[in-house]
Amino acid sequence: MKTASATSAESAVPETQADGSSRRGRRMFRGGIALTVAVIAAGALAACGSGSSSDEVSVSDPWIRVTPGTQDMTAAYMDLESPVDDKLVGASVASNIAETVELHETTDSHSGDTSGSMDDMEMGDQKGPGKGNMADSDDMSDMEMGSDSMSEMDGQMKMMGMKQVPSIALPAGEEVKLEPGGYHIMIMGLKDPIEAGDEYQITLEFENAGEIAVQAIARDN
């Protein structure tokens, strides 16, 4: 009987040791999996961070033109620069600000030699409701070009207008200016006048960089 008991006790020791080793093995296995998952997650986050950074578009000097009286459209301007080839493909404002936002480009077409004629017409003094000085096309507001306007440059009569464009190209490393007389963001169906000093959020949509929200200051020019 004593011999049998001793044998049973001796045989129980390896089983206990085996159970302990098994538990330690399971803990080490689970720890290894957790470490592997953490490393993979950290790598994924690092990759995402570097990707968004490399495609980021720089936006500087965003502003929106003040509107006089009951004028229901205006334009926004800014400077854009992308480290990689990209495109501005759209823009938007809150629905309580305006109904429609489009990308536009100012256009002109020559209509013959008009040397001397502009002085007689005194186009610099021709102003209508909501119209600016029509002789100075560089300062002419894009929102005044909803219908074609005329100006004179280098002895040529120009018909000034604008057209909607699907996108504005941003070549890598080049500054692209959205400015009066060129590319601009047309904001139409204003709910209220745009007043000097106010700030308006404009959300820009880029082909590669995605959406970027900017605060545009309202001013005259």
Residues 158 and 83 in one domain: yes
Higher-pLDDT residue of 178, 161: 178
Nearest to 58 by CA among 28, 78, 32: 78
CATH number, domain of 125, equals: 2.60.40.1890
Residues 136 and 159 in one domain: yes
- Taking 90 as the threshold, does the pLDDT of residue 127 lie above it? no
Q: Which of 17-21, 51-55, 103-107, 168-172 has the lowest mean pLDDT?
A: 51-55
Residues 110 and 42 in one domain: no
Question: Which pLDDT band, with edges at 50, 70 and 90, does 131 fall under?
Answer: very low
Higher-pLDDT residue of 217, 160: 217
Look at the chain and count its residues. Answer: 221
Percentage of the chain exceeding pLDDT 70 = 52
pLDDT digits (tens, 9 = 90+) for 44-103: 444 333 333 346 899 999 999 999 989 999 999 999 999 999 999 999 999 999 999 999
Residues 43 and 100 in one domain: no
Residues 72 and 21 in one domain: no
- Residue after which a domain boundary falls, among 9, 36, 54: 54
The whole-number pLDDT of residue 17 equals 53
Residues 67 and 94 in one domain: yes
- Residue after which a domain boundary falls, among 54, 72, 97: 54
The answer to whether the CB of 98 falls within 8 A of the CB of 187 is: yes
The answer to whether the CB of 80 falls within 8 A of the CB of 88 is: yes
Distance CA 183, CA 102 (A): 11
Residues 28 and 126 in one domain: no
Question: Which pLDDT band, with edges at 50, 70 and 90, does 3 fall under?
Answer: very low
Residues 15 and 104 in one domain: no
Number of domains the chain contains: 2
Give residue 35's domain range.
1-54
Average pLDDT of the residues in 200-213: 97
Average pLDDT of the residues in 108-130: 41
The structure tokens 């057209």 sit at 163
The whole-number pLDDT of residue 49 equals 36
Residues 143 and 95 in one domain: yes
